[in-house]
């Protein structure tokens, strides 16, 4: 069975063990998928996030999911794109890797990623997709507990990019 699945839709509705949030360093919510996840989870998510004391770029922290359909939310902080000379590629790979590691530490079986950094943070979508797929494949090669990994794309552009790269 293919462990990597492309899915187009709203990540807040996914019945997986963990969904990943494209958060900012404050972990206090925002717009985009961060806003959607906090709206769907309810105010208790923000209460828990307030206790986490933020998160560095490239790293991730895990919380409960409250009213969401999933069990956990992994808040990953991707890099803002400043043109590619600011270690953005490594920071994006690190955000995916650290999210996967948190899921593996809890022996989770399924996880869904949004297209981290490709919205407000303006990371080029195709490059981000290449980094995401390469990082995930390398991790899945050495990690067994994760049985299904969903790339949850929201817009058609990202769907086409991932469909092309994954086929």
**What residues line the site for ligand APR (CB under 6 A)?**
10-12, 22-24, 30-36, 78, 114-121, 152, 154-155, 158
* Least distance from ligand APR to the Cβ atom of residue 53, Å: 16
CB nearer ligand APR, residue 108 or residue 152: 152
CB nearer ligand APR, residue 58 or residue 119: 119
Beta-strand relationship, 110-113 and 148-153: parallel
Max CA separation in the chain (angstroms): 42
Say which of 17, 34, 105, 155 is annotated catalytic.
34
CB nearer ligand APR, residue 9 or residue 143: 9
* Least distance from ligand APR to the Cβ atom of residue 12, Å: 5
Q: Find where tokens 């929201």 sit.
A: 154
Among 119, 126, 123, 113, residue whose Cα is nearest residue 92: 123
34 is catalytic: yes
- C-alpha to C-alpha distance for 106 and 29, rounded to whole angstroms: 24
Segments of 54-131 assigned E as strands:
60-64, 72-77, 110-113
Which active-site residues does the annotation give? 34
């Amino acid at each position: 069975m293919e462990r990597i699945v492309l899915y187009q839709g709203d990540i807040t509705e996914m019945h997986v063990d963990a969904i990943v949030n494209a958060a900012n360093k404050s972990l206090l919510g925002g717009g985009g998928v961060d806003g959607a996840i906090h709206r769907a989870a309810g105010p208790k998510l923000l209460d828990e996030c307030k206790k986490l004391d933020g998160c560095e770029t490239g790293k991730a922290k895990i919380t409960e999911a409250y009213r969401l359909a999933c069990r956990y939310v992994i808040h990953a902080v991707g890099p803002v794109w400043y043109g590619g000379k600011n270690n953005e590629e490594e920071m994006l790979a690190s955000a995916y890797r650290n999210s996967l590691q948190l899921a593996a530490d809890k022996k989770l079986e399924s996880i869904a990623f949004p297209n981290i950094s490709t919205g407000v943070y303006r990371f080029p979508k195709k490059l981000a997709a290449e980094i995401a797929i390469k990082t995930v494949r390398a991790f899945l090669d050495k990690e067994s507990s994760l049985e299904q990994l969903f790339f949850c794309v929201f817009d058609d552009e990202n769907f086409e990019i991932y469909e092309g790269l994954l086929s």
